[in-house]
Amino acid sequence: MNKKGFIFDLDGVIVDTAKYHYLAWKELANSLGIDFSEKENEQLKGVSRVRSLEKILSWGNKTLPQDEFTRLMASKNEEYLSYINKMDESELLPDVKKTLIFLKMANQGIALGSASKNARYIIEKVNVKDMFDAVVDGTDVSKAKPDPEVFLIAAKLISRAPEDCIVFEDSVAGVQAANRANMISIGIGSSEVLSEADYIFNDFTEISEEFINTLINN
């Protein structure tokens, strides 16, 4: 049987923490007199914490001294963690667990490839930590998505060549990172936003076992 590597993004793929990032960033932006919409929020998905704040400040034509910038990032993370602390397994997105179990039973490599520095904590909270053979998160990389670093490290840790890996991603930056890594990209979300992905599904309920078997065997 073929052994492929399946790399999962976290926010927006395994759990809908994107909504908590949005709430926490919006509160912080509003406190600075800046507002942004869900459409602009797409640009923050998959993007590092530092880059997110830089983008928000640029939308408001604002700059901040370094110490204030660092303080605001910490304050956003505190607010974000207040939502995360309440998470449990019920917040796993539909059919994610089923897909993970199917891949495990099929003896495939499974890795997490997330930009989030909170990723390890979150997969523990929602009780899927044991499903992953390797975890690469925002603390392991020096270059943020769309750079392919996060996925290339994940492939290495599960001993798969990049072309034998399949990435599930909800962000434009993440799909671009998977494409640059020479992996198959599967967009989870809207086809308008994720048009650069090789395949696009609204969520895992649309991904059949037949389709996964095709990925495994091709």
Positions marked catalytic: 9, 11
Beta bridge partners of 5: 109, 165
Nearest approach in angstroms of CB 106 to ligand B16 is 24
* Contact call for residue 48 and ligand B16 (CB under 6 A): yes
Q: For residues 74 and 101, which CB has a smaller minimum distance to ligand B16 in the complex?
A: 74
Partner in contact with 52, chosen from ligand B16, Mg ion, none, beta carbon below 5 to 8 Å by kind: ligand B16
Among 12, 109, 113, 187, contact with Mg ion (rule: CB under 5 A): 12
Total binding residues toward Mg ion, as defined by CB under 5 A: 6
86 closest CA partner among 126, 127, 117: 126
* Contact call for residue 187 and ligand B16 (CB under 6 A): no
Q: Is the separation of the CB atoms in 46 and 145 below 8 Å?
A: yes
- Cβ atoms < 10 Å from Cβ of 128: 21
Partner in contact with 114, chosen from ligand B16, Mg ion, none, beta carbon below 5 to 8 Å by kind: ligand B16
- Cβ atoms < 10 Å from Cβ of 130: 9
Residues 113-172 that bind ligand B16 (CB under 6 A): 114-118, 138, 171
Residue 135's identity, in one-letter code, is: V
Host H or E run for residue 7: strand 5-8
Q: For residues 5 and 12, which CB has a smaller minimum distance to Mg ion in the complex?
A: 12
* Contact call for residue 21 and ligand B16 (CB under 6 A): yes
CA distance 128 to 89: 8
Give the three-class secondary structure for 35.
Answer: coil
| Phi/psi of residue 42, nearest 5 degrees | -55, -35
Q: For residues 18 and 152, which CB has a smaller minimum distance to Mg ion in the complex?
A: 18
Q: Is the separation of the CB atoms in 113 and 8 below 8 Å?
A: yes
Q: For residues 2 and 202, which CB has a smaller minimum distance to ligand B16 in the complex?
A: 202
Binding residues for ligand B16, per CB under 6 A?
Answer: 9-12, 18, 21, 44-49, 52, 77, 114-118, 138, 171
The site for Mg ion (CB under 5 A) is made up of 9, 11-12, 46, 170-171
